[in-house]
C-alpha cells in the first residue's frame, strides 16, 4: 500500500477523532468549528482574478516569525492579496483580525480533497511555510501545480523524522520545497545530509521583528508612575512554577526594587491566587485607577498585549516557562539590552541556547539560585549593564533574515 494513500486514511481518521474529542474539549472544539468557516471566508474575500500569496504558520510563535515577511510583502506587492492560515486555535483566535493579511483562516486538514479545494480557491502565486510546517498533501499538490514554495526560519534537529532511516515518506515531502531559509549552519548541514542543497542560512526572522520594537513608542504612563526611576524586574509569561519562586523572593527580599508580574494565565482565579500569596503592596492593571503607584511594590498585569512595552521599563527580566511548560519569548526583553533570567529547561530554543552560552541569559534551577543571582545583580549595576549589552548585541548582529528572504521572493514574483 503506497504510504501517501495510507497517510490520507490516517488523516481522515484523525479528523473524525478530533470531531469526537471536540464534544468534550473547548480548545479542540475551536479547532474543529473554526475550520467550518475557512472555505466560506476564502470565497467571500477572494476573486478568481486575484493574485495571491499564501503564508501558513502553526501558531503565535510562528506568526511572529512570519510577520516581518508579511509586512514587507504588503509594502512591496500591494497588488497581491495575502492569505494567512493557522493550524492552532491559540494562534488563530488571537490574530484572526490582524490587518497584515487580507484573509486569515484555519488551515483545512491535510486530506487530498480539502487541499485541492483550498488551493483551487486561493490559487497562490507563492506559498510560504514557517519553521516546522511540513504537510505532505499540501506540498505534493503545490509541487504538482508548479507553485513556488519556500520554508522560512526553519530549524532542524537530528532527532526529527526526516533524518531517520524510517522517515522516507516525510523526507520526500520535505524535499518538495523550492528553497529553505534555515536559522543556522547545523540545519543546513542536516539538510545536505539527505541530499537537499538548495538552502540558505538566514537566521531567525523574529530578530528582525524584535529589532523593530526599538523604533516604536514604548511609553506607558502607568509604568512611568509605577517605576518612578527605581530598579524594576519584569517577569513575563509566568507559570505557577515560576510564580512560586518569584513570590517567595518578593516576600523575603529587603532590596529596594519594583516587580511586575505578567502571568501567562490571566483568569481571575489565578490572579487572585497570586495576589493573596504576596505580602507587599500590590495592584492589578485592571484596578489601577488614580492610585499613587509610587508607593506600590508589585504590579500584576491581568491583560494581554502590553508585555513588550512593559519590558522596556525593566532593568532585569524573568521569562517564564523554563521550569515545565516550554520557554516563552526571550527575544522581546533581549532587544532592550537587559539581563534575562529563565528556568533550567531551555534546550531546543536556539536563541536562548545561544545567549545562555554568551552569558546574556542566566538559567536558574531553584529558589536559592534565583535569590543568589538577584542579590549578585542588584549589588553590581555594572554587571547588569554588561550582561544586558550581550543581549542587545546578539539581536543587532543576527538580524537581516527578512531581507534575504525578500530578495529571493523578488526573483519569483
The helix or strand, by DSSP H or E, that contains position 27, with its residue range, turns out to be helix 26-34
The residues annotated as belonging to the active site are 62
**Euclidean distance between CA atoms 182 and 80, whole angstroms:** 26
In sign, the C-alpha dihedral spanning 64, 68, 70, 75 is: positive
**Euclidean distance between CA atoms 34 and 189, whole angstroms:** 39
**DSSP secondary structure letters along 115-142:** HHHHHHHH-EEEEEEETT---HHHHHHH
C-alpha distances in angstroms, 304 versus 181, 236, 237, 260, 308? 31, 11, 10, 14, 10
Helix (H, G, I), strand (E, B) or coil at 31: helix
β pairing state of 232-238 and 179-182: unpaired
**Euclidean distance between CA atoms 155 and 175, whole angstroms:** 15
β pairing state of 232-238 and 258-263: parallel
**Residue 412 DSSP label:** T
Taking the CA atoms of the chain, what radius of gyration do you get in angstroms?
23
**Euclidean distance between CA atoms 327 and 349, whole angstroms:** 8
C-alpha distances in angstroms, 338 versus 150, 163, 233, 366, 373? 35, 38, 10, 22, 14
Amino acid at each position: 500500500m503506497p504510504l501517501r494513500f495510507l497517510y490520507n486514511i490516517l488523516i481522515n481518521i484523525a479528523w473524525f477523532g478530533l470531531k469526537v474529542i471536540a464534544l468534550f474539549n473547548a480548545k479542540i472544539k475551536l479547532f474543529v468549528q473554526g475550520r467550518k468557516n475557512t472555505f466560506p471566508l476564502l470565497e467571500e474575500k477572494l476573486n478568481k482574478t486575484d493574485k495571491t500569496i499564501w503564508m501558513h504558520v502553526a501558531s503565535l510563535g510562528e506568526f511572529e516569525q512570519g510577520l516581518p515577511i508579511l509586512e514587507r510583502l504588503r509594502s512591496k506587492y500591494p497588488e497581491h492579496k495575502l492569505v494567512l492560515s493557522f493550524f492552532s486555535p491559540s494562534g488563530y483566535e488571537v490574530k484572526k483580525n490582524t490587518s497584515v493579511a487580507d484573509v486569515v483562516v484555519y488551515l483545512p486538514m491535510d486530506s487530498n480533497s480539502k487541499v485541492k479545494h483550498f488551493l483551487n480557491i486561493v490559487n497562490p502565486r507563492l506559498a510560504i511555510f514557517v519553521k516546522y510546517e511540513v504537510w505532505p498533501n499540501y506540498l505534493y499538490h503545490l509541487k504538482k501545480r508548479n507553485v513556488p514554495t519556500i520554508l522560512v526560519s526553519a530549524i532542524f534537529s537530528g532527532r526529527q523524522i526526516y533524518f531517520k532511516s524510517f522517515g522516507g515518506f516525510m523526507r520526500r515531502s520535505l524535499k518538495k520545497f523550492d528553497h529553505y531559509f534555515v536559522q543556522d549552519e547545523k540545519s543546513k548541514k542536516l539538510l545536505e545530509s539527505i541530499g537537499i542543497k538548495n538552502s540558505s542560512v538566514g537566521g531567525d526572522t523574529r530578530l528582525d521583528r524584535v529589532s523593530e520594537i526599538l523604533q516604536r513608542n514604548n511609553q506607558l504612563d502607568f509604568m512611568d508612575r509605577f517605576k518612578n526611576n527605581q530598579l524594576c524586574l519584569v517577569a513575563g509569561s509566568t507559570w505557577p512554577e515560576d510564580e512560586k519562586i518569584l513570590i517567595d523572593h518578593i516576600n523575603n527580599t529587603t532590596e529596594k526594587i519594583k516587580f511586575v508580574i505578567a502571568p501567562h494565565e490571566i483568569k481571575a482565579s489565578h490572579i487572585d491566587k497570586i495576589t493573596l500569596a504576596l505580602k507587599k503592596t500590590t495592584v492589578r492593571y485592571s484596578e489601577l485607577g488614580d492610585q499613587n503607584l509610587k508607593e506600590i511594590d508589585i504590579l500584576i498585569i491581568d491583560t494581554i498585549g502590553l508585555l513588550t512595552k512593559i519590558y522596556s521599563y525593566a532593568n532585569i527580566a524573568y521569562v517564564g516557562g523554563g521550569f515545565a511548560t516550554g520557554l516563552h519569548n526571550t527575544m522581546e526583553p533581549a532587544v532592550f539590552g537587559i539581563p534575562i533570567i529563565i528556568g533550567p529547561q531551555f534546550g531546543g530554543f536556539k536563541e536562548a541556547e545561544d545567549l545562555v552560552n554568551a552569558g546574556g541569559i542566566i538559567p536558574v534551577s531553584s529558589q536559592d539560585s534565583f535569590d543568589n543571582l538577584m542579590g549578585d545583580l542588584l549589588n553590581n549595576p555594572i554587571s547588569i549593564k554588561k550582561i544586558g549589552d550581550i543581549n542587545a548585541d546578539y539581536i543587532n548582529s543576527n538580524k537581516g533574515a527578512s531581507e534575504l528572504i525578500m530578495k529571493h521572493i523578488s526573483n519569483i514574483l
